């Protein structure tokens, strides 16, 4: 009851007038209509390593001057992408489910080569962190408003969001006057008179916990299609489709990093006895070595080098593996998520995997040898079938024995 009273008071403001001076962005759709509005303030705190081997903390704000290229609106998903400074970006994804929408993830990329923010950084890469904000249950055609601070923490980046005003999925080009207010704001609003009549609205409050931040969870990595050609005019000699994530242990700390296939350069070679696939992205370099064992091929070596969010460069390799084994002339396939332990400090996770490192014909995959785990759906009917067959056999035997007894019985009479 009480929160609705507060809503009645807030209706007057709406999405349109807002007193803050954050980064304000208006995204338009294909028909040049406003489809996403945002006015946000974000403070960043990033720890990084300097060339003197010290950990420094860089604290900076999202400037009000931002570029919104890369933002887009679709029917049920939209992305707000803010580029700022020397190669930094902050992007947030929304999805619409029925009558409510939510923010799924925030991806913050920071360019350590920007010495005005990260002086003396030992790394010069652009690193990304992915976090899940508590911006959920926003009613369609309302504007999410949260003046309170929400801090989202990860290993080396803390982000504080405040004075947030966002409307995603604006339906007909006009911003809504109605708000979905975060509960943190509701708790600090002066108490309203209990005699005020509460209007009936469909606006929901988001359950918003500003002090507790959830463990960031990575989205499933995107599936990439990687091919190696012996020369530019030939068809592929090595085919590999997969989505890949690495899990890295460093003492007490464990970090997972997704391979972004769109930001990956592919190289490698095809041989008679050995083929190699090398993938280089911002976050990692991974080399996969396949061997041809006369009749079968297998993944024999994995070498991963990654720059961790702590600034440490991590490198692990194992060259005595027997994974992804199949007959030469066929491909190896495994759709389900797989967790491979490469070394005690490195795990490899794959999704939608299909590889053929030898004997590729016409640039397409040959018959696939599927991994055992994918077969569990077939295994269950087999087990049930076998059990049924066993049961029928027992009944038949029992019947035969039963008939024999009665037959014997007649004879003795």
Ligand X SMILES: *[C@@H]1O[C@H](CO)[C@@H](O)[C@H](O)[C@H]1NC(C)=O
Size, binding site for ligand X by CB under 6 A: 50
Q: Are 236 and 211 in contact (CB under 8 A)?
A: no
In the range 49-68, which residues lie near ligand X by CB under 6 A? 53, 57, 61
Candidates 56, 137, 177, 374: give the one binding ligand X (CB under 6 A).
177
231 binds ligand X (CB under 6 A): yes
Closest alpha carbon to 14 in 173, 102, 143 = 143
Q: Smallest distance from the beta carbon of 148 to ligand X, in angstroms?
A: 10
Q: Smallest distance from the beta carbon of 381 to ligand X, in angstroms?
A: 27
189 binds ligand X (CB under 6 A): no
**Binding string, residues 341-360; x marks residues near ligand X by CB under 6 A:** x-----x----------xx-
**CB within 8 Å of 82: residues ≥ 6 apart:** 23, 25, 62, 66, 67, 68, 71, 89, 90, 91
Q: Which is nearer to ligand X, 141 or 354 (CB)?
A: 141
Beta bridge pairs of residue 369? 332
Q: Smallest distance from the beta carbon of 28 to ligand X, in angstroms?
A: 15
* Cα gap 285→268, rounded to integer Å: 12
Candidates 266, 312, 317, 368: give the one binding ligand X (CB under 6 A).
317
Residue 90 has phi, psi (to 5 degrees) of -135, 120
Tell how many helices (H) and how many strands (E) occur in the chain.
Answer: 3, 26
Q: Smallest distance from the beta carbon of 93 to ligand X, in angstroms?
A: 4
* Token reading at 368: 């696939």
45 binds ligand X (CB under 6 A): yes
Q: Which is nearer to ligand X, 64 or 339 (CB)?
A: 339
* Cα gap 127→283, rounded to integer Å: 7
Q: Are 46 and 110 in contact (CB under 8 A)?
A: yes
Cα 206 → chain centroid: 23
By CB under 6 A, name the binding residues for ligand X.
43, 45-47, 53, 57, 61, 77, 79, 93, 104-105, 107, 130, 141, 149, 153, 156-158, 160, 162, 172, 174, 176-178, 201-202, 219, 222, 231-233, 262, 272-273, 285, 292, 294, 303, 305, 315, 317, 328, 339, 341, 347, 358-359
């Amino acid at each position: 009851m009480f929160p609705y009273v507060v809503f009645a008071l807030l209706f007057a403001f709406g999405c349109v007038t807002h007193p803050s001076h954050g980064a304000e962005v208006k995204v338009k759709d294909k028909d040049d209509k406003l489809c996403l509005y945002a006015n946000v303030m974000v403070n960043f705190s990033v720890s990084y390593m300097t060339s003197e081997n010290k950990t420094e903390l860089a604290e900076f704000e999202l400037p009000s001057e931002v570029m919104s290229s890369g933002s887009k609106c679709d029917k049920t998903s939209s992305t707000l992408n803010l580029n700022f400074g020397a190669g930094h970006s902050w992007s947030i994804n929304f999805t619409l489910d029925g009558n409510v929408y939510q923010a799924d993830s925030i991806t913050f990329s920071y360019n350590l080569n920007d010495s005005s923010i990260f002086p003396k950084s030992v790394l010069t890469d652009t690193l990304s962190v992915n976090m899940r904000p508590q911006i959920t249950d926003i009613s369609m055609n309302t504007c999410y408003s949260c003046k309170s601070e929400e801090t989202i923490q990860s290993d080396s980046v803390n982000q504080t969001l405040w004075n947030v005003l966002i409307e995603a999925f604006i339906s007909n080009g006009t911003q809504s006057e109605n708000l979905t207010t975060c509960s943190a704001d509701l708790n600090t609003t002066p108490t309203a008179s209990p005699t005020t009549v509460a209007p009936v609205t469909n606006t929901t409050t988001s359950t918003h916990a500003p002090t507790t931040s959830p463990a960031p969870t990575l989205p499933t990595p995107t599936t990439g299609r990687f091919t190696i050609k012996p020369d530019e005019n030939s068809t592929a000699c090595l085919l590999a489709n997969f989505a890949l994530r690495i899990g890295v242990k460093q003492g007490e700390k464990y970090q997972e990093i997704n391979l972004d296939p769109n930001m990956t350069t592919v190289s490698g070679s095809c041989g008679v006895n050995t083929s190699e696939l090398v993938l280089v992205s911002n976050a990692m370099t991974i080399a996969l070595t396949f061997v041809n064992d006369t009749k079968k091929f297998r993944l024999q070596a994995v070498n991963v080098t990654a720059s961790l969010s702590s600034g440490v460069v991590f490198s692990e390799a194992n060259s005595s593996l027997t994974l992804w084994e199949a007959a030469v002339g066929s491909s190896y396939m495994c759709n389900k998520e797989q967790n491979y332990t490469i070394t005690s400090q490195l795990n490899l996770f794959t999704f939608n995997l299909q590889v053929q490192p030898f004997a590729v014909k016409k640039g397409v995959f040959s018959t696939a040898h599927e991994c055992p785990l994918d077969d569990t759906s077939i295994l269950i009917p087999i087990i049930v079938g076998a059990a049924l067959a066993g049961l029928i056999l027992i009944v038949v035997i029992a019947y035969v024995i039963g008939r024999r007894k009665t037959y014997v019985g007649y004879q003795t009479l």
